Structure 1
């Protein structure tokens, strides 16, 4: 069969229409997981999927499955998807591209009256970002059995609202079991979120694996005291200790050049009032590297930095690991199929590692999985200026369409 192409105008139109849900003043999107905005986007997706002839089911964690039947309904489906939730100041492409490209793929198969042997299922995962509820990739992780459902439903946002309560509020506390569904293969299209494809001029990123990433919470403890009368030499300021540690964390990543990453993106301060020297700071931080051994060395440097700051700033620091991922290695047959499909479509490509986790990471432990990147034109993501061009989005969707068609046929 000759290669099919998506309707690029329809793909772009759908991206922009759903992107207006939770649109920010600067042109980005704010759809935190399981908020009213996320619920509205889910409603629209479900309506579009039903109009495309799909049956739609929702599991107990709010994961949405839109199924286009094949000639053999007993065959394990080809699953494609990503997520609709964003960070507070997100863009219109992270996650949502993979969902809407999957929808466009189904629409295009309908246009051409193409039947597949295996069913095709479009999935929208719950709480991929972890911006409202922790941990990240919550829906897909429960689906594959890495996280217990009861634990996931009990996770709370900063206001004390649980995942279970939030699902009820927006009407997506489904009745289907989480997991246990047949899955033949899983495909996910995503924006790169970095500058490498843009710099190299390639149209498709073939994700072959991931960096090693280690996540921690550093609890810095000092002593509360009045900000006025307390002499400088008396102070044990947890905020100053956390600031010094943040600079050390930044240094650790920068010392590794382009292959190193280190971050301190989230902070909680107690008691967090103007007249009191902070007594405790909880600092979320992580280190990442393409070489797993180097990532372990970065952790050792982070722990040494904690001891250094303790001595210099008169505070105590406890470093606790709460998450890690990688290094993962994608299925060689699937990555080969991404390259082959890109070549077939006349698209340039390069092998690339993912530095961030995506729903494809837990899914690869369940079935053969492919993760496909398209360039980020601005080289940045988790930002309202996040942007990929219509042509870039369509190229990735074309690869997704032709891979799914081949696998389902």
Structure 2
């Protein structure tokens, strides 16, 4: 951003901004572009990174051709989109849009006990509250698809109509425990077997729902000894559905079925739904601009809906926002062999830049 001569700043959660403006458009609400640079372990080289690179390339092209519209362009690299080190996800955009309190955000800790605010201070990225993203005209983010729709259809770019909602819950089951050689199998109150039945139950339900997904990615057993029936089992449950009402019904039905299973196995049960990601619907007018730009460039697109949170979800809660998805080989993401075919990347760069030109007119 310094190399492009942008006016840079950092806000109080470490978000990085670069402004491309001139005297004629300085006072207008900007067009916001960009994404995030953080990744997961072990992550790849594209994910949100591609969105930042395409935003930089777009401003470079505008600069080369001395193009200025009626609005400035604001490039943003948001802090901690993944939530991989400091949960929850999308912290930077959450603070920038006022959806997260900054005191809550900077108090987040990682697995080693490091505090986010202290880490920002340590690396010199604890900026000023007044540098946060303000009112904007529209926002546009590019991101890899993280699915196979574009790859299966041999298309470079998809226009995203929205993002499906998500809930994260922690389920806790407790029982008396005991020695593996003790009680007969039929007399056990085993929370692990109950948890296994719950996993099978929610999987069966979700398979019957169009657009729904259920994932159990963590399970912890206490005391965790090879010859001891566990006395406590906790597991996470990630639920996703096509819309808010469907997700709410799925969560309620799942909780009721889990309670029945727990009673059947004689274990106590609780569910704590500790994080929700709301449904996002992206701006129809911006999507129309993208589609027209694609038609002008001869780039075929398809409409896609996201199943994964992005910074644009937060931006869409406070302003007009849209996203492009870019083809990934085999739909692989959050992995070191994450890859975007070069022709798809070039199509995305052309479409992104031309759309921004239309948005700043």
Give the TM-score, by structure 2 length: 0.91
Cα 1:174–1:298 change in 2 (3 A) is: same
- Separation in structure 2 between the aligned mates of residue 223 and residue 177 of structure 1, nearest angstrom: 55
The equivalences for 1:94-113 within 5 A come to 94-113=47-66
Greater shift in the superposed pair: 221-230 or 242-251: 221-230
Unaligned runs of 5+ in 2: none
Distance 2:163 2:147 in 1: 14
Partner of 2:113: 160
Cross-structure match for 1:212: 165
Distance 1:223 1:393, change over 3 A: farther
1:269 Cα deviation from its structure 2 partner:
3.8
Q: Aligned partners of 1:111, 1:164: CA distance in 2, in Å?
A: 38
Is 1:64 matched with 2:16? yes
Q: Deviations over 1:195-249 (max 9, x none)?
A: 1122233332111122232322212223344445565456444333333322223
Task: Give 3-state SS (helix, strand or coil) of 2:216's partner.
Answer: strand
Distance 1:153 1:289, change over 3 A: same
| Distance in structure 1 (CA, Å) of the matches to 2:180 and 2:124 | 48
| Long gaps (5+) in structure 1 | 1-48
In 2: Cα distance, 1:227 partner to 1:57 partner: 60
Asked if residue 203 in structure 1 is aligned to residue 156 in structure 2, the reply is yes
Partner residue, 2:307: 355
State the partner residue of 2:203.
250
Q: Helix, strand or coil for the counterpart of 1:75? A: coil
Matching residue of 2:81: 128
Please report how far the alpha carbon of residue 90 of structure 1 lies from its aligned counterpart in structure 2 after TM superposition. 2.0
Report the Cα distance in structure 2 between the residues aligned to 1:337 and 1:228, rounded to whole angstroms: 68
- The CA distance in 1 between the partners of 2:136 and 2:4, in whole Å, is 21
Retained in 2: the 8 A contact 1:81–1:123?
yes
Q: Please, what is the CA RMSD of the aligned residues?
A: 2.2
| CA distance 1:284–1:201, shift in 2 (3 Å) | same
Matched, 1:298 2:250: yes
The answer to whether the Cα contact below 8 Å between 2:22 and 2:72 also exists between their aligned partners in 1 is yes
C-alpha deviation, 1:174, in angstroms: 1.7
Select between 174-183 and 365-374 the one with higher mean Cα deviation: 174-183
Q: Per-residue displacement from partner, 1:4-37 (whole Å, max 9, x unpaired)?
A: xxxxxxxxxxxxxxxxxxxxxxxxxxxxxxxxxx
Say if 2:274 is the partner of 1:322: yes
Partners of 1:226 and 1:59 lie apart in 2 by 55
Q: What SS does structure 2 have at the residue aligned with 1:85?
A: coil
Distance 1:210 1:58 in 2: 28
- Say whether 1:52 aligns with 2:4: yes
Once the two structures are TM-superposed, the CA of residue 405 in structure 1 deviates from its matched residue by 1.8
Q: For 1:174, what is the secondary structure of its paired residue?
A: coil
Instruction: Give the corresponding residue for 1:284.
Output: 236
Give the corresponding residue for 1:141.
Answer: 94
Matching residue of 2:217: 265
SS of aligned partner of 2:322: strand
| Alignment match, 2:141 | 188
Match of 1:241 among 179, 194, 214: 194
1:337 and 1:194 map into 2 onto residues whose CA distance is 24
Cα distance in 2 for partners of 1:139, 1:326 equals 17
User: What is the Cα deviation at residue 180 of structure 1?
Assistant: 5.5
Q: CA offsets per residue over residues 76-115 of structure 1, 9 Å max, x none?
A: 1211111111121222211111011111112222222333
